[in-house]
Structure 1
Amino acid sequence: MTTESNTAPVSNFLRTIIDQDLKAQRHATKRWAGKPGPAAVQKTGSIDTASIRTRFPPEPNGYLHIGHAKSICLNFGLARDYNGACHLRFDDTNPEKEEQEYVDAIIDMVHWLGFDWKYQEEDNLYFASDYFAFMYEFAEALISADLAYVDEQTAEQMRENRGSLTSPGTDSPWRDRPAAESLRLLGEMRDGAHPDGSMALRAKIDMASPNINMRDPVMYRIRHATHHRTGDAWCIYPMYSWAHPVEDALEGITHSICTLEFEDQRPYYNWILEHLRDLGFFSDPLPQQYEFARLYLSYVVTSKRKLRQLVLENHVHGWDDPRLPTLAGLRRRGYTAESIRLFCERIGVSKADSRIDYSILEQALRDDLDPKAARSVAVLDPIKLIITNYPEGQSETCSAPINPHDPDAGRREFPFSRELWIERDDFRETPVKRYFRLFPDNLVRLKYGYVVKCTGFVKDSDGNVVEVHAEYLPDTKSGTPGADSVKVKGNITWISAQHAVAAEIRLYDRLFTDAHPDVGDKDFLTLINPNSLSVVQGWVEPGLVAEAGAHWQFERLGYFVADRIESTPEKPVLNRSTTLRDTWV
């Protein structure tokens, strides 16, 4: 059902819980009818062959980001490692913010990461909206059991009467209304007879509870909004805290794994399931909620609201802008699914929040690409080098390993000629101390080619060097017996000017200058790095086929990828994924 793990599972508190549950056979009698449903449906099924059931439940109101990747790898990875099932469930209970575009994008990203939601013959792709009828039935049962009521207070009045961390709440004047009246009003709410905000269904728990989440939380609110799947069939929509446990129970989830912000909601989660069990809708064992620390990555924002603002206000170029921490953006930048999974394995799972430095993500990409990315050469800031003693119109073939870590990958070939492109930084009219590249009268090796001696240079009318001259030593070609006859301290990369391929090269850096742009009362928009994107017109080695998604390590420069949207073999557009080492200061 999922990609194979390349490493042995690392123990964590969630694995310990699962191990204990399996040893105690906590779920050994749980039945599964092959589809979601209450106890009456599940009792018709056989004993569930999935040892555990987890779920990844995104809301389709935006694109997934790197924080979601941690949850995806955790939930799908646990199911894989324990021969269980992981469901992909869209928590589409907020019609005003959800769109089919986001559903499609989420499915694409989960697949890209190497996971799917199939288990044996099951296709466990679900939507919360499929359960609206069940939720409504359960709500009516809770009203009839005097465990819920329709409240006519305004949202502001509810907030005022909720109390504080140090003072209890105040009962709603509608709290003791007869069940029959609440049932009638709930039906009218469902049928669209009342305006938005005029009524809400609340659980009847304890307005004096020390846990504010237990002070009669709202279960349904009125929303006259068209749903992307159910259209206008409903005028009331369930709150997440009400829908979440119901969805888990309907799907037979054993381990409901959430981030730490839901820890205070766990008593309400249990309250709902226990009462619905007592009313005959669910059976033991009930799902159990567990919480882990969410991912906080430096130099990014992962708030969907802030990401949406960056996109809609054109601070970036869409949800897949390579500077964003969205999975679509990371993929376009050149991050591989393997590197994302490796990153998630390295940061581990705990119950303590911590900030992860962006450099750890970058290093995961380097470690993934280094043994498999083809090597090539690019020149980003070109200046022409003329080999004055090399015959005009002549060229010859040089070669280099495609990947030095993989001899079976073979060698690549490229031409050497009289006129070459080199990096401007590889020449100095007046060298600084310990500068070993080109300067007058100095010898350097053109990597994979000849040793050359700088004999001069040409300046334009503004005093800028526009051309460097050198002579080559004919018996010093790399791979020949004379290659080591002349010792040099410097090597530089080069491309034959006659054969070079022009390319647009986009140099991406971190989007924010502040390591924690979303902490405190900072205005994150003022912290955008003005140099997060530089576009240069450079040259790449001939023979490089810039098919969308192809990766290279450009020697001395870093890892690059052909842009998956705009690059073509005829007009390469290349994105820098990361440098060869962490250069952020």
Structure 2
Amino acid sequence: MDRTETPKGNFLRDIVAADVAAGTYDGRVVTRFPPEPNGYPHIGHAQSICLNFGLAKSFGGVTNLRYDDTNPEAESQEFADALLDAVRWLGFEPNEVLYASDYFEPLYAWAQDLIRKGLAYVDSQDGDAIRAGRGTVTEAGTPSPYRDRPAEESLRLLEEMKNGEHPDGAHVLRAKVDTEFGPMAHPNMKLRDPIMYRIRRDAEHYRRGTEWAIYPLYDWAHGQGDAIEGITHSVCTLEFDVNRPLYDWYLDAIGIPEPRNHQYEFARFNLDYTVMSKRILRRLVEGGHVDGWDDPRMPTIAGLKRRGVRPQALRSFFDGLGVTKVNGSVEIQQLEYALRDDLNAVAPRVMAVLDPVELVIDGIEGTTWIDAPYWPHDVTPPASAPQSRQLPLGATVWIERDDFSADPPKKWKRMAPGRAVRLRHGPVVECLGAETDADGTVTRIRARLADDAKPTGVIHWVDAEHGLPASFRLIERLFTVPDPASEEDPMATLNPDSLVEQIGWVEPSVAEDPMDTRYQFERTGYFWRDPEDSLPGALVFNQIVALKDTWAPKPDAQTPPAARSQTPTTPTGPRDPASALDADQRETYSALLVHGIGEEEAAVLAADTPLRRLAHAIIDAGADPRAAGALVVHDLRRALDDRDLADSQAEADELAAVLALVEDGTLTRNAVGDAVAGLVDAGGTARAVIAARGLAAVRDADALAPAVEAALAENPGEVARYRAGEQKLFGFFVGQAMRRAGKGADPKAVQGLLREKLTDA
């Protein structure tokens, strides 16, 4: 079989496997990811990263990150850093981080060698003449009048070009490719004396400065860079298949022997309703259509990260796509399915109401606390994940406006006058009616406890007294057509509803969760807190993906259009955390970022000198900058409440000690807020506060046993049901035991002890 033929399945893996079996490279497999650092990486780069790193890893090989940085006019260290961050975020570590610009010297020496061999020459025609001389795909080209220029003259001119003695466009270095078709006549126009070097006399390279006045073109740097690094399998997208003969010609010309690097091509990743053109992405940002490169609607890695997409989901998605040599487009629903599949097993189920209306329930007095499981019975959660949480239920709750209809259609299963529904995890209530304003908009719904009624459905809710206000960003596809890049003006196809913000409520259990927790908001979708904009008192959630595809327009069967009322929503974009800072504060903000403090925290600290000084003092005491910034901005400010920092009794070194105790396992992250509050209120040492408040992490079985045994002893009926096979009650027991054990209890240790006790006959 020809090495470039398209076999079934993952043909690249088959090629590598054959080489390994044959000992072609003595068992070595070395691939590379070679991006140009001229823009922020996007989901297309993610495919190439996963392919190259995954391919090498499958055979015990390694992958280099090599920047193709031979164009000085568009590249920067900022983009290079973003590409390395993308590789690491996706879960890979380069064998080496390399730069094509470090190969300028050997490339130049090889170019001189080709001139001496009669395989290259300096052409002094202008650009138009060179283009005309190349011919067309149906007509041979015309050899340059400088094609037979003496080697000594070409060497002298090349040196002068390198030294900046000639202006841009005065000369180029071209390969002299003679084939069986004759000079300038090969059907593959890449082999018609391709340009190797062009002059960029006034350009400044982001790494090499003004040291070089000539720069190699892609084809002259590509294969030779692979050879220098000992790459075995050079994987490119399909449009480079016409470059492969030139890739091999250059290697032959400079004398790279077999076994050597070979180029293989695969189909480029295209995703519908998405663009990956850097030009169009730049237009989106610079035209203000999105709010920066990390806007959660963007297909950039930064945008996907901010949206809440996990790297595991992308790796699984690309593994499932396979590798082909047939160009096509992947439906965006496939990506959304992969995101849901990834989040299903890691996202606890909680309740949030995005378009709220008040429901007042007769028969409820005070607040009842319900132990509600986080996970459905068919999901196995992460081993360390809590199984349940305490849900408050009072006489007034928020429900979704769409869950009520005064005049319900047939088969309506939600709330309507005279009908009963179950509140998720709670009681059955019967609707008594609704109050409206002068415009007929429902302002309040009334219901009664109705344990004797048969519910027609289940709705979610949030307790009005204890619920937390939050903003919810609903994210849809950015364009309204499948192939926006093919449109005359892609901007004309932008979806005006690609980002809609709604104001609602979320259950209080989320307040103590880690910032990176992903949730399934029941009946709505998967969300997480925006890492830039969300604050403890002003929560902002980004929708990662809806529970199902909501793109296709659907008829509204619930309420006639005239009677339908919704909270107005407006498209919006994520805010720049530093947008409110003045010029001096922005300088401080930038310095804090360099120091390692997160963007959200840096924006707060840049505008608050006392807090910033405290954060620096905590860092000086040995704390990690990012952790110190988060502690000051979130935990300490929450502990201060309305007080001034001057009222705090906490010392910087003891706040640093809190973070150190988290690192060594003495304190759980959930207890940090209480520890900081103790220091703010009374001062002293971190260890003393932890001891006084009983916050130390507890993992000892003997210490946890009383809480576990009490939880079981006080619920004998549930114990019997669990032992009879009702396994879903395990989350109930975890909640009961954790409430008795206190914040310091290690959930994993509690779960282990519970399983042991529950299996005892």
Question: Does the TM-score normalized on the shorter chain lie above 0.5?
Answer: yes
- TM-superposed CA distance for 1:549, in Å, is 2.9
Contact 2:419 2:431 in 1 (8 A): yes
SS in 2 for 1:262: helix
- TM-superposed CA distance for 1:102, in Å, is 0.6
Code of the aligned partner of 1:111: R
Q: Compare 545-554 and 434-443 and name the one that shifted more.
A: 545-554
CA RMSD of aligned residues (A): 1.4
1:22-37 equivalence runs, <5 A: 22-28=20-26
Answering whether residue 496 of structure 2 is matched by residue 526 of structure 1, we say no
- TM-superposed CA distance for 1:166, in Å, is 0.3
Answering whether residue 255 of structure 2 is matched by residue 261 of structure 1, we say no
Instruction: Tell me, in whole angstroms, the C-alpha distance in 1 between the residues paired with 2:535 and 2:157.
Output: 61
Contact 2:358 2:396 in 1 (8 A): yes
Q: Compare 208-217 and 537-546 and name the one that shifted more.
A: 537-546
Contact 1:547 1:568 in 2 (8 A): no
Instruction: Tell me, in whole angstroms, the C-alpha distance in 2 between the residues paired with 1:530 and 1:152.
Output: 52
For each residue in 1:324-346, what CA deviation from the matched residue of structure 2 results, as whole angstroms up to 9, or x when unmatched?
Answer: 11111111111110100011011
Contact 1:26 1:285 in 2 (8 A): yes
Contact 2:65 2:98 in 1 (8 A): yes
Code of the aligned partner of 2:239: E
> TM (normalized to structure 1)?
0.89
- TM-superposed CA distance for 1:547, in Å, is 4.7
Structure-1 residue corresponding to 2:117: 145
Contact 2:419 2:456 in 1 (8 A): no
- TM-superposed CA distance for 1:487, in Å, is 2.4
Instruction: Tell me, in whole angstroms, the C-alpha distance in 2 between the residues paired with 1:152 and 1:526.
Output: 44
Higher helix proportion: 2
Answering whether residue 191 of structure 2 is matched by residue 214 of structure 1, we say yes
Instruction: Tell me, in whole angstroms, the C-alpha distance in 2 between the residues paired with 1:69 and 1:136.
Output: 32
Structure-1 residue corresponding to 2:705: none
State the identity as a percent. Answer: 49
Q: Which of these residues, 272, 276, 284, is aligned with residue 254 of structure 2?
A: 276
SS in 2 for 1:17: helix
Structure-2 residue corresponding to 1:93: 70
Code of the aligned partner of 1:175: R
For each residue in 1:208-236, what CA deviation from the matched residue of structure 2 results, as whole angstroms up to 9, or x when unmatched?
Answer: 11100011111111112111111111111
Instruction: Tell me, in whole angstroms, the C-alpha distance in 2 between the residues paired with 1:155 and 1:569.
Output: 60
For each residue in 1:474-517, what CA deviation from the matched residue of structure 2 results, as whole angstroms up to 9, or x when unmatched?
Answer: xx4xxxxxxxx642121110001111111111111000000111
Code of the aligned partner of 2:490: F
Contact 1:548 1:567 in 2 (8 A): no
SS in 2 for 1:518: helix
Contact 1:547 1:562 in 2 (8 A): no
Structure 2 runs not aligned, ≥5 long:
1-7, 178-182, 553-761
Code of the aligned partner of 1:158: I
Answering whether residue 354 of structure 2 is matched by residue 385 of structure 1, we say no
Structure-1 residue corresponding to 2:502: 536
Contact 2:9 2:324 in 1 (8 A): no
Code of the aligned partner of 1:15: R
Q: Compare 354-363 and 394-403 and name the one that shifted more.
A: 394-403
The total of aligned residue pairs comes to 533
Q: Which of these residues, 104, 107, 125, is aligned with residue 135 of structure 1?
A: 107
SS in 2 for 1:297: coil
Answering whether residue 183 of structure 2 is matched by residue 183 of structure 1, we say no
- TM-superposed CA distance for 1:390, in Å, is 2.3
Code of the aligned partner of 1:541: E
Answering whether residue 496 of structure 2 is matched by residue 498 of structure 1, we say no
Structure 1 runs not aligned, ≥5 long:
1-9, 29-49, 119-123, 477-484
Q: Which of these residues, 217, 226, 229, is aligned with residue 239 of structure 1?
A: 217
1:348-387 equivalence runs, <5 A: 348-387=322-361
Instruction: Tell me, in whole angstroms, the C-alpha distance in 2 between the residues paired with 1:298 and 1:89.
Output: 29
Q: Which of these residues, 42, 51, 54, is aligned with residue 31 of structure 2?
A: 54
Contact 1:110 1:116 in 2 (8 A): yes
Q: Which of these residues, 90, 99, 108, is aligned with residue 85 of structure 2?
A: 108
Contact 2:126 2:170 in 1 (8 A): yes
1:193-232 equivalence runs, <5 A: 193-205=165-177, 206-223=183-200, 224-232=202-210
Instruction: Tell me, in whole angstroms, the C-alpha distance in 1 between the residues paired with 2:72 and 2:355.
Output: 50
Structure-2 residue corresponding to 1:157: 129
Contact 1:397 1:415 in 2 (8 A): yes
Instruction: Tell me, in whole angstroms, the C-alpha distance in 2 between the residues paired with 1:211 and 1:276.
Output: 21
Instruction: Tell me, in whole angstroms, the C-alpha distance in 1 between the residues paired with 2:118 and 2:467.
Output: 78
Structure-2 residue corresponding to 1:400: 372
Structure-1 residue corresponding to 2:525: 558
Code of the aligned partner of 2:87: V
Structure-2 residue corresponding to 1:450: 427
Structure-1 residue corresponding to 2:226: 248
Instruction: Tell me, in whole angstroms, the C-alpha distance in 2 between the residues paired with 1:269 and 1:457.
Output: 75
Instruction: Tell me, in whole angstroms, the C-alpha distance in 2 between the residues paired with 1:331 and 1:304.
Output: 18
SS in 1 for 2:434: strand
- TM-superposed CA distance for 1:522, in Å, is 3.0
Structure-2 residue corresponding to 1:306: 280
Instruction: Tell me, in whole angstroms, the C-alpha distance in 1 between the residues paired with 2:117 and 2:419.
Output: 91
> TM (normalized to structure 2)?
0.69
SS in 2 for 1:134: helix
Higher strand proportion: 1
Answering whether residue 309 of structure 2 is matched by residue 335 of structure 1, we say yes
Instruction: Tell me, in whole angstroms, the C-alpha distance in 1 between the residues paired with 2:262 and 2:79.
Output: 28
Code of the aligned partner of 1:259: T
Q: Compare 200-209 and 408-417 and name the one that shifted more.
A: 408-417
- TM-superposed CA distance for 1:457, in Å, is 1.1
Are the structure 2 counterparts of residues 71 and 220 from structure 1 closer, same or farther at C-alpha, using a change threshold of 3 Å? same
For each residue in 1:183-229, what CA deviation from the matched residue of structure 2 results, as whole angstroms up to 9, or x when unmatched?
Answer: 11111111111111221111111311110001111111111211111
